[in-house]
Amino acid sequence: MSADLTRMTAADLASRIHSREVSAVEVAQAHLDRIAAVDGGVHAFLHVATDAALASAALVDDSLAAGSAPASPLAGVPLALKDVFTTSDMPTTAGSRILEGWRPPYDAGVTARLRGAGVTILGKTNMDEFAMGSSTEYSAYGVTRNPWDASRVPGGSGGGSAAALAAFEAPLAIGTDTGGSIRQPAAFTGTVGVKPTYGGVSRYGLIACASSLDQGGPCARTVLDAALLHEVIGGHDPLDSTSIDAPVPSVVAAARQGADGDLSGLRVGVVRELTGEGYQPGVQASFDAALRQLEKLGADVVEVSCPHFEYGLAAYYLILPSEVSSNLARFDAMRYGLRVSEGASAEAVMAATREAGFGPEVKRRIILGTYALSSGYYDAYYGQAQKVRTLISRDFAAAFTHADVLVSPATPTTAFPIGDKVDDPLAMYLNDLATIPTNLAGTAAMSVPSGLSDGLPVGLQIMAPALGEAVMYRVAAAYESTREPLVAPEVSR
């Protein structure tokens, strides 16, 4: 029965657990067994919390046995947590040597909500160091492999979370999205990944990459599962100064509504600047087929223009490194984390520690950001980039007057071979071409599987206005209802 449990959706697992058809402990053990069997060939996890997961599941079983109502619709369902959220009972490394073995004294806001909801946290997943990367090759703890093809990347920075889903090691996962780090791995692994409205999910205890861009969000294998998780982790958090004090959009109801496959009256906008040239032929063909399907469901598909999107990549790679330069200054070898004891002065210790503890991509972005913020260059680079950010937000606002949601391919290509772009930063950065504008504007977006190209998954990106997640989930669920789920080949250890 273990194999069957790992193939079920989170919604089905929750139903069976809450009706006591199966125990939460059995479900947790099945997924822990799956991790033990296949993760050697995937490396999705950096830390597996076997004892804590089983203890958490047992509490759910005890509560149900006592006649109590489930703590949430997902109580007892296992989840993989990206290792950028603090956890008081297990290490939090952000994929970096500079935090190797660090055990935080507190839980992140997302972690606390998961625990309060009775969700079983299986462990922490691999990621590009400090969420800087598009392939999970920049982790200090080894590369994560794509379950569809072990020679290819699972995307990044949240490749571990997406790979855990595709390999059936967990039915749910949490990621973070700074420029596409939830959506691009989802597209590469045939899973669902959601970047909520900025401030819609607590950032408290999320180790910062770029504070004005980072946003945690749900990852799953179905749209409904993502919606269920979204409602668990979403909502206002007074500990996060960027948190929106507004109700969580009714995404579960929207996903259930969308599953009936009727999009009559909805307007879907195709972003002219995010299609055509620069996209792999198979990716473009999959997108064109998705548009035809949306029309069959009753949607009115129109073309919209967002002329400043073409400057998004350049603006992003000035804003993000600038914020990285500021945020990572806290890793000074004085308070926590790695300390390399070399030299007589604090400055020497700090320099030696950062040299040993930070990887090449982190160093590259710190240098870029420090330069962009330096005297004489701030206005020319960082200041101009922020103006572009405003123009992109205006493009979105104008486009949403013509359409309820916007769509594009989630990524320009399918998953690329491991090592193919790691020595070419610009080629790596271009993977974020379609996803970056949403982060700059702070709006919502998601990727849902749209088929295969040469045997590899392709993602459809659906974008919505700020706090417009409900219509986004409705469209995604309707589209999902028209196709069979994508299932990766069996992983070998």
The catalytic site residues sit at 82, 157, 181
CB 433 within 8 A of CB 311: no
- Pairing relation of β-strands 267-271 and 192-195? unpaired
**DSSP 8-state symbol, 211:** T
CB 450 within 8 A of CB 286: yes
- Burial letters for 126-136: b for 16+ Cβ neighbours within 10 Å, e otherwise? bbbbbbbbbbb
DSSP secondary structure string, 84-107? TB--TTS---TT-GGGTT---SS-
- Residues for the chain: how many in total? 493
Instruction: Of 337, 327, 316, give the one whose Cα is nearest residue 206.
Output: 327
SS3 (DSSP) at 292: helix
SS3 (DSSP) at 4: helix
**DSSP 8-state symbol, 381:** I
Sheet with 405-409, side-by-side order of all strands = 45-48, 120-125, 78-82, 172-176, 216-220, 192-195, 444-453, 456-464, 405-409, 267-271, 300-304
Identify the sign of the CA torsion 379, 382, 387, 388. positive
Q: Which residues pair with 275 in a beta bridge?
A: none
What Cα–Cα distance (Å) separates residue 86 from each residue in 102, 177, 286?
10, 16, 38
- Pairing relation of β-strands 216-220 and 267-271? unpaired
Query: Token digits for 394?
Result: 């205006």
